[in-house]
């Protein structure tokens, strides 16, 4: 894995580009009760080109891709250092690459202090949220209390219901989260990431 810091205008923001993924040297072996390096599912997704920002006034940690035997997973290990409540607006932006151009499939704002993402009216957001609950140790709804937030080996296999909603191909997913402590407050960026992924047919 190559981690390359980028300069930003704010000392509170850390930007990281991840160009390679965890392999046999996966440091998760240090916490065997929480993590493991082997990816056992029959994955039909390949992740790459991950970039992310964490507001260090709220949290610290890592978001990463790992691969083993050509199977890919998306993970995060983040420590939240203060309680987040009020309103948290997440903005997922999903684009599909068609004939060399990206076409938007999803671009919405969702207040996770009012609506559980697994109940979103958007079927793609709702399905991704439901799939993610298999891999996380926290609630998707706020408030978010201080503590360790884990996304463990998120991947997609041939049985994933998401594959019924979006076709095989290449995609770009961007997600931003902004915190509004009060309705009139200036929003504060909590975190953001972008990642490319490809869906493909499972090998027989």
Residue 11 has pLDDT above 60, yes or no: no
pLDDT digits (tens, 9 = 90+) for 148-193: 999 999 999 888 999 899 999 999 999 999 999 998 999 999 999 9
Domains recognised in the chain with CATH numbers: 43-201 (2.70.220)
Q: What is the DSSP string of 67-136?
A: EETTEEEEEEEEEE-S-B-SEEEEEEEEEEEETTEEEEEEE--EETTTS-GGG-SSHHHHHHHHHHTTTB
Give the CA count within 13 Å in the CB-facing half-sphere of 195. Answer: 25
pLDDT-derived band at 69, boundaries 50, 70, 90: confident
Q: Is the dihedral of CA 88, 115, 126, 93 positive or negative?
A: negative
Residue 143 has pLDDT above 60, yes or no: yes
> Which tokens in the block code for residue 107?
């671009």
Predicted confidence at residue 73, as pLDDT, reads 95
pLDDT digits (tens, 9 = 90+) for 86-117: 999 999 999 999 999 999 999 999 999 999 99
Are 67 and 22 in contact, with CB atoms under 8 Å apart? yes
pLDDT-derived band at 43, boundaries 50, 70, 90: low
Predicted confidence at residue 98, as pLDDT, reads 96
Q: What is the DSSP string of 158-185?
A: TT-GGGGTS-SEEEEEEEEEEEESSTTS
């Amino acid at each position: 894995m190559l981690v390359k810091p980028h300069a930003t205008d704010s000392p509170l923001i850390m930007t990281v580009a991840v160009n390679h993924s965890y392999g046999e040297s996966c440091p998760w072996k240090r916490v065997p009760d929480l993590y493991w390096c082997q990816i056992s599912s029959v994955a039909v997704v390949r992740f790459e080109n991950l970039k992310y920002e964490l507001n260090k006034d709220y949290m610290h940690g890592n978001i990463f891709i790992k691969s083993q035997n050509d199977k890919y997973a998306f993970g995060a290990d983040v420590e939240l250092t203060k309680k987040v409540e009020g309103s948290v607006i997440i903005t997922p932006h999903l684009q599909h690459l068609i004939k060399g151009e990206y076409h938007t499939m999803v671009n919405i704002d969702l207040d996770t202090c009012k609506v559980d993402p697994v109940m979103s009216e958007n079927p793609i957001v709702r399905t991704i949220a439901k799939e993610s609950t298999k891999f996380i140790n926290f609630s998707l709804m706020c408030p978010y209390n201080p503590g360790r937030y884990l996304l463990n080996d998120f991947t997609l296999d041939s049985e994933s219901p998401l594959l019924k909603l979006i076709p095989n191909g290449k995609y770009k997913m961007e997600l931003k989260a902004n915190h509004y402590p009060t309705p009139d407050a200036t929003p504060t960026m909590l975190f953001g990431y972008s990642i490319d992924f490809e869906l493909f047919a499972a090998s027989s």
